[in-house]
Structure 1
Amino acid sequence: MNHRRTLLKAASAALLAAAAGVRAHGDAEHAQHAQHAPAPKEQHDWGVAGDAQAVARTIEVRMGDDMRFTPARIDLRLGETVRFVAVNDGRLMHEFVIGTRRSNEAHAAMMLKAPGMEHDEPYMAHVPPGRRGEIVWRFNRAGQFEFACLIAGHYQAGMVGAIHVRA
């Protein structure tokens, strides 16, 4: 019995030591790679995070407590990289989130269930009252997309705008 316990303790200690060594190696090596390699940009149905140096134009979008965006429709060209400046003119927190109707509806439903959920993606800006947020986005797919405020209840109140990307 003592032999079995000793063997079990030795095996456990060996596994812990090996795991610590792998973790230490991984952290240093991955940190070094992270300093030199840009993070890959994730392709979405509505495009990809843009490069600030490639911005073709800047579009200011104003958000208010009337649950509306101004402008409510934006027309773009396929391949265009845009800097969106989302300005919150209201007293409530608002968001500017780019997506498809389906993705925004799903996200809005999730926010109703978990209104305090924190999240951050390159296609969204959380904008406190009286502040502004920016998104740089490249529209590399043609189609009909949306920008919306997905704060619980805002999307359902009509806080959504249209993006039309033509080929």
Structure 2
Amino acid sequence: MAYKVLFLCTANSARSILFASTLSHLGGTRFDAHSAGSQPAGVVNPHALAELHRRGIATEGVRSKSWDEYTADGAPTFDLVVTVCDSAANESCPVFFGGFVKAHWGLPDPAGTAGDAAAVAAAFRITEDVVSARLARLLTLPLESMDREALQHELSVIAVELPARQLLEQAA
């Protein structure tokens, strides 16, 4: 049975889309990845789609949607919910309730990058580098045999060892 993961942010237009699409690509049938937002933009950022396409990651069916879709009767239940908003930028992260393991893997929003097209593309490329690195580490974990505490610890370690803001600043 696939391990169900939900990535949450506010707008569900870039970061959570990158995470869910990349996990679906890298994790294959081992994972069932979803994304949603507390205040969805209603459209996926075209730069996020361009970066996914550049890496050969499928985007068919990807859309910006509300987390309300996952609170209705018959909605899937999740094993893991990961928030990806950037608390360093004073973004408020959505709170989603349930009996799943929770993690916070904050990232600065590449959609907020000022500058020319090259600067924006670089921000999305670097963000996807962080997304891919974190997910590559997730893929190495024996999720099916880990207890909640061990998984929670490992997810925190991933966030600490692959700090987004420092990686993004180094690349700038």
- Shorter-chain TM-score: what band? under 0.3
TM-score with structure 1 setting the length? 0.25
- Greater share of helix: 2
Which structure has more relative contact order (CA 8 Å, sep 6+)? It is: 1
Q: TM-score, structure 2 length as denominator?
A: 0.25
More strand by share: 1
Q: Return the index of the structure with the highest Cα Rg.
A: 1
